Structure 1
Amino acid sequence: MRDQYDRPAEPAARAADVWKVYGEGEARVSALRGVSVEFARGRFTAIMGPSGSGKSTLMHCLAGLDSVTRGEVYIGATKLTGLGDAGLTKLRRTQVGFIFQQFNLLPTLTAHENILLPLAIAGRKVDKEWFRTVIDAVGLGDRLDHRPAQLSGGQQQRVACARALVSKPEVIFADEPTGNLDSRTGAEVLGFLRQSVHDFGQTIVMVTHDANAASHADRVVFLADGQIVHDMANPTADGVLDTIKRITGER
């Protein structure tokens, strides 16, 4: 099925000359400095860079979790820049999925209820066939009645992955999704994210510091000092490490 995603596709998300500035005067810090980047549909992109490079700020601006100082951000055809709180809230509920390092599951809800929570909040009906497809993909069929405390870290993150995917978002943003997992469990989660791109055509943008995690992506965008400094297709762990070392040495 992969060849259908090898053709050029319109962006699922993009930033155009985006600046993000914090503070004023001597305390002024430019976290992003004129960043322009596109994320094609049906692709898995990793964002990497040294600490303070702006990678998390870029993801937050792309996802509508933070505003930009200057420039424009789009999710699909929707321009986030200038949207009010109500518009941003609706967009995050309907067009964006999130996976965080801390899982962010509600402890009093079962796995089933946590997965369907975004749909319940948005007042949307459950596509039962798609729900079953997602559950089968993450291998949670026998864990749906369990609460987070009854699940392993890897199982909790798979619940979070299913929650992000079940609403069929335009793009899923993953912030260090394997940061709290051991290497084997992390590889399982990354394998699922890779599968969701290959089998379902999902778009994923992942912030990570892990070269092995980045090697699961189709592409890696490298930031340093708030600017994109390198763009790598078909990454390998060794290639990513070499690039990070070079970027760090250049700073």
Structure 2
Amino acid sequence: MSRALGLVDDVEDGIPGDAAARAEGVSKIYGTGGGMVKALDNVTLSIPRGGFTGIMGPSGSGKSTLMHCLAGLDQVDQGKIYVGDVELTGLREKDLTRLRRDRIGFIFQSFNLIPTLTALENITLPMDIAGRKPDKEWLDTVIDTVRLRDRLHHRPSELSGGQQQRVACARALASRPDVIFADEPTGNLDSSSGTEVLSFLKESVRITGQTIVMVTHDPTAAGYTDNVIFLTDGQLVDRMKDPTPAKVLERMKNFEPPAPAAQAGTPQQGAGR
């Protein structure tokens, strides 16, 4: 799909100095020869500070690849990635590892909690490994924001799925990173628990000023964000501010390939059932 859809007038309106993360002309290629896939194709965007940004697109659109590149988990083949004012592209692996540890938070579908540790120990684990003491006032704010005060001394097996993901959210927030990347954070949760976690993420942005970037395929989840970036065929094709599930679903229809027309004289599959 071409960027000439007339949908991207404000896609590159981010001001670099105000960006928590940004990409400049980023391309990412997998494979070679006939098996080559251009997962990202000259993508330029800014992620605003203190906002909740969603990344959406059809399967294979490049949304997870974009998140991995922005988070320094994957290298780009062309272009530049910045977190704050630091360029990730070209950093030595040791420096990149330190930057990810100190300035980036992660929330994944699988909660990745240590089963033998309490909720509080799981929350502070990254800082404990780094040899840093948590800011007690900030930690209290995070714990109260995700409403875990009465579950801090429970182990993961004693928590519901929604509570475990809230622990994972608190762990990402606790070190006060520049930006948190959430990859389908409600993918393993039922509808009720998913709503609970999305509400906490939105509240975290509002109360703490945290920056969160969430990859999702779910229009309902996207409705919790402040703005949504749409990708298709590795290209950034649109951005929507103040999304609602209905508006996101309607916009996504623009990016779906048309259904193949039935051949003349051939009954449509399922006809008459």
Q: TM-score range by the shorter chain?
A: over 0.9
Counterpart residue number, 1:244 = 252
SS in 2 for 1:220: strand
CA apart distance, 1:54:
0.2
C-alpha distance in 2 between matches for 1:152 and 1:200: 25
Residues 1:179 and 2:202 aligned together? no
Equivalent position amino acid for 1:114 in 2:
N
Aligned-pair Cα RMSD in Å = 1.5
C-alpha distance in 2 between matches for 1:200 and 1:50: 31
CA apart distance, 1:249:
3.2
C-alpha distance in 1 between matches for 2:99 and 2:154: 30
Q: Against the structure 1 CA distance between its residues 250 and 97, is the aligned structure 2 distance closer, same or farther, given a 3 Å change threshold?
A: farther
Counterpart residue number, 1:5 = none
Equivalent position amino acid for 1:118 in 2:
P
Runs of 4+ in 1 over 4 A off after TM superposition: none
Query: Which of 120, 128, 146 pairs up with 1:120?
Result: 128
Counterpart residue number, 2:220 = 212
Counterpart residue number, 2:142 = 134
Counterpart residue number, 2:197 = 189
Matches within 5 A, 1:78-117: 78-117=86-125
Counterpart residue number, 2:63 = 55
Residues 1:233 and 2:241 aligned together? yes
SS in 2 for 1:45: strand
Counterpart residue number, 1:34 = 42
C-alpha distance in 2 between matches for 1:185 and 1:237: 18
What are the Cα deviations for residues 93-147 of structure 1, in whole angstroms up to 9, with x where unaligned?
Answer: 1100100011111112111111001111221111111111111111111111111
Equivalent position amino acid for 1:163 in 2:
R
Identity rate, percent: 63
Residues 1:158 and 2:166 aligned together? yes
SS in 2 for 1:190: helix
Q: Aligned pair count? A: 245
C-alpha distance in 2 between matches for 1:136 and 1:216: 20
CA apart distance, 1:250:
6.3
Counterpart residue number, 1:67 = 75
Give 1 or 2 for the bigger CA radius of gyration: 2
Q: Which moved more, 1:208-217 or 1:241-250?
A: 241-250
SS in 2 for 1:74: strand
C-alpha distance in 2 between matches for 1:25 and 1:249: 25
Q: TM-score, normalised by structure 1?
A: 0.95
SS in 1 for 2:171: helix
Structure 2: which 5+ runs fail to align? Answer: 1-14, 260-273
